[in-house]
């Protein structure tokens, strides 16, 4: 594919994502329902991000790096399918996001693959043992809380590695900046996901709580899609 046409395709896809981004935010903000649901538009955007990463392979910084990125983005599609579209497979969806963050941690510190995987396994086993002990000796806790706790650790670990990769210039700029900012936005998204679900789970009421609930419901995707766009482009070898 000629470099000129390749760049135009990327630009067109980014423009489409940008238009869809404002459409679903507008729909969510004003509770608008049309022939296509807001969640479906969001899911289409995530698929487009994956397509962008596929298109960057011919112009990638490194084949191994872009392969890890594409794997992470593909699993992200599966996770969003279960969490967003099917909306009934929360444990499976969060588990897939754990795998995504582990893959990104490996990507950001490619020289320590074995130790990174080993640490994640040890952390998972420690949390699983703690969860089992609590359920046997103290109280029954939903498994969703356990896998959610593990995901939080996976996310913070990959975020830390992304920031270190930027700080120590593991990636050239703007790639390093895209990775660091993309992971920060990923964190902001998940903070709002946590707020949204906690407020909904414990059924708090009040003007401030209701406002916080509404803001978090919008802010999830306000941060999430830009994070995926930045990450999808972060494997590209810029001129």
Percent of the chain with pLDDT over 90: 85
For the cut 80, the answer to whether the pLDDT of residue 1 exceeds it is no
- Residue 239 clears pLDDT 80, i.e. is over it: no
Pure H helices in 81-112? 90-108
Q: Tell me, what's the pLDDT at 201? A: 79
Average of per-residue pLDDT values in the chain: 94
Q: Identify any residues that bridge with 236 across adjacent strands, giving them in sequence order.
A: 60
Q: Residue 141 above 70 pLDDT?
A: yes
pLDDT digits (tens, 9 = 90+) for 23-79: 999 999 999 988 789 999 999 999 999 999 999 888 899 999 999 999 999 999 999
Per DSSP, 60 falls in state B
Residue 236, classed as helix, strand or coil, is strand
Which pLDDT score, from 0 to 100, does residue 224 have?
98
Q: How far is residue 122 CA from its own chain's centroid?
A: 23
**Angle between helices 63-80 and 38-55 in degrees, nearest 10:** 170
The DSSP result for 196-233, as a single string, is HHHHHHHT--SHHHHHHHHHHHHHHHHHHHHHHHHHHH
Q: How many other C-beta atoms lie within 10 A of the C-beta of residue 132?
A: 12
Residue 187's SS3 state is: helix
């Amino acid at each position: 594919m000629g470099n000129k046409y390749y760049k135009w395709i990327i630009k067109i896809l980014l423009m489409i994502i940008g238009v869809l981004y404002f459409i679903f935010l507008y729909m969510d903000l004003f509770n608008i329902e049309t022939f296509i649901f807001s969640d479906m538009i969001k899911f289409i955007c995530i698929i487009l991000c994956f397509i962008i990463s596929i298109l960057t392979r011919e112009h990638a910084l490194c084949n191994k790096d872009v392969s890890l990125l594409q794997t992470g983005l593909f699993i992200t599609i599966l996770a969003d399918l279960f969490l967003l579209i099917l909306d009934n497979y929360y444990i499976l969806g969060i588990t897939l996001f754990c795998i995504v963050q582990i893959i990104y941690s490996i990507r950001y510190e490619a020289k320590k693959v074995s130790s990174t995987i080993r640490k994640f396994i040890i952390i998972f086993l420690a949390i699983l043992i703690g969860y089992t002990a609590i359920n046997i000796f103290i109280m029954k806790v939903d498994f969703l809380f356990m896998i959610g706790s593990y995901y939080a650790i996976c996310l913070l670990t990959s975020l830390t590695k992304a920031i270190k990769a930027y700080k120590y210039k593991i990636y050239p700029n703007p790639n390093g900046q895209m990775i660091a900012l993309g992971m920060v936005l990923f964190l902001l998204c998940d903070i709002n996901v946590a707020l949204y679900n906690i407020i909904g789970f414990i059924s708090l009421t009040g003007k401030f709580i209701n406002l916080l609930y509404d803001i978090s419901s919008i802010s999830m995707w306000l941060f999430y899609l830009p994070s995926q766009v930045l990450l999808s482009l972060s494997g590209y070898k810029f001129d």
